[in-house]
A = this chain, B = another copy of it.
């Protein structure tokens, strides 16, 4: 064949007519992306595009509609598994970049351990395996053959990594060892799945570190917890309560667990948002991870592990979404600003229409050049009203409208997604104005969510005096507690709501579960002004109060 014939044979493409693109086709690519991402065909006019369920009265359906219609998520034919579409995955990418930079500054390095773990290794830490065993997925077959020895899929990687840690760590000079990995894990839960919140497969990072001393481990535990809180508060505009878990609630096999706890006002349930564990020397014992110190004495290492998952995405949606759809904090919005021409009627000339379109695309170019993530929507086959709903559903922080009068005044009308407030901005200063507006939105979203969360915490000194009422009023409760597991169990059993006798399916009844300790909050327990008066009793039994505990129904 000659070159042309080869091309035709090779796939019937005409090589002569193909130029491998060198310039970045940004405009057309983003336009295509907009079109592809935004399209509803004419046939769908009969389909209701916006949300029909209300967040206040039908949270369960509201949440699922939100995720589907805002194109965050798609269902899948394996129960408990979901597709993360670009609109949610891009948020995860912002979280990854932010957190990864934070831990790299600490000297943590990324690695990747295998997904599979043998039964022998999985069994090594008794408490740990008791905690995870019922949810472990097993590979028993490959092709047509059964495996001699089935392998498990990691529910978390302690048992995958620590045998190797034992090999690598010989001397105090090998410490600290600080590794992290970004990966998927599988926990074959039998509870009802809930997108992002409780899924059989999820993405996360897991850090696993080893130190010569407990003091170093303790410092890192709290430092990582703060990084986790920063992800939620600085990126996702969601407030977190930092604390330590009760012995009952801590990581199976660890020494103590610190946690950030979120709260979903719509359902009145707390949600564990990220955990940073000190494993103590428990796994060092089980996996024989020892080192020679500088006196040539054999010591066991002190270890931490810490994880943050795509549950973050669910928390974001639950807190900030509203009845129009998603509301994205600007820092994690893939598209921060959408610019569109408006005021085009039957009497608008083609020249005027083109001028408005050009003004829109010029504005987008100016904003993008300044690092604001902007796109235009100049589609002609849908109305402005349709576009408003479309972008509001997807949570885009700012809409900039350019109508004939705006064009004449060299202005644009800016509408905030979170409050609906509108104002006119001059095009000449649009970059600064827009950046300022985005920053304002980011901080106000956090402030509003924090005020809401704070209004939902009640201090209850005696169980009978309003503990269950507080839960039923969708609040969390802070109480003086004796720190005994028997009391913890009693509170849980006695704060479950009676069956209301409705026909609601079993997971509608979940909010009537009993309360658990969400955490023992640092803010309360490390605050000398909150020290208990002499003789203060536990709120739920007659033992002395030992510390403040935050209670709530939870995911």
Contact = CB atoms under 8 A, between A and B. Distances in A.
Nearest to A18: B219
Interface string A17-46: 110110011100110110110010101000
Interface stretch (A50-58, A84-92, A363-371): A84-92
A541 interface: no
A151 B184 contact: no
Interface string A72-86: 001011100111111
Given A41-B292, A107-B30, A135-B142, A36 B547 contact: no
Given A20-B222, A219-B18, A121 B256 contact: no
Interface in A100-129: 105-107, 109-118, 120-121
B164 A76 contact: yes
A388 interface: no
Contacts of A117: 78
Nearest to A143: B134
A219 B20 contact: yes
A551 to B, nearest CB: 17
A288 interface: no
Nearest to A219: B18
Contact of A176 (B32, B43, B142, B226): B32
A177 B255 contact: no
A93 interface: yes
B105 A84 contact: no
A173 interface: yes
Interface in A164-208: 164, 167-168, 170-171, 173-179, 183-184, 186, 188, 201, 203
Contacts of A26: 105, 107
A449 to B, nearest CB: 23
A140 B139 CA distance: 6
Contact of A115 (B36, B112, B184, B256): B184
Contact of A83 (B113, B221, B244): B113
A153 interface: yes
Given A173-B41, A526-B6, A81 B140 contact: no
A520 interface: yes
B141 A13 contact: no
Given A150-B141, A153-B139, A218-B18, A114 B6 contact: no
A423 interface: no
Copies of this polypeptide in the complex: 2
A215 to B, nearest CB: 7
A99 B307 CA distance: 27
A428 interface: no
A256 B106 CA distance: 47
Contact of A90 (B30, B84, B110, B170): B110
A528 interface: yes
A525 interface: yes
A238 interface: no
A409 interface: no
Contacts of A143: 133-136, 188
Interface string A311-330: 00000000000000000000
A547 B114 contact: no
Contacts of A387: none
Contacts of A6: 520, 525-526, 547
Nearest to A215: B13
A106 B226 contact: no
A78 B114 contact: yes
A10 interface: yes
Interface of A: 1-3, 6-7, 9-13, 15, 17-18, 20-21, 24-26, 29-30, 32-33, 35-36, 39, 41, 43, 74, 76-78, 81-86, 89-90, 92-93, 105-107, 109-118, 120-121, 133-144, 150-151, 153, 163-164, 167-168, 170-171, 173-179, 183-184, 186, 188, 201, 203, 214-215, 218-219, 221-223, 226, 244, 255-256, 278, 292, 483, 520, 525-528, 531, 546-547
23 contacts: A1-B525, A6-B520, A6-B525, A9-B546, A11-B278, A17-B215, A18-B218, A20-B219, A20-B223, A26-B107, A29-B105, A77-B121, A78-B114, A78-B117, A83-B113, A83-B164, A89-B112, A115-B201, A134-B144, A135-B143, A138-B142, A143-B188, A184-B184
Q: Which 6 A-B pairs have the closest CB atoms?
A: A29-B107, A142-B188, A13-B218, A86-B109, A11-B256, A39-B173
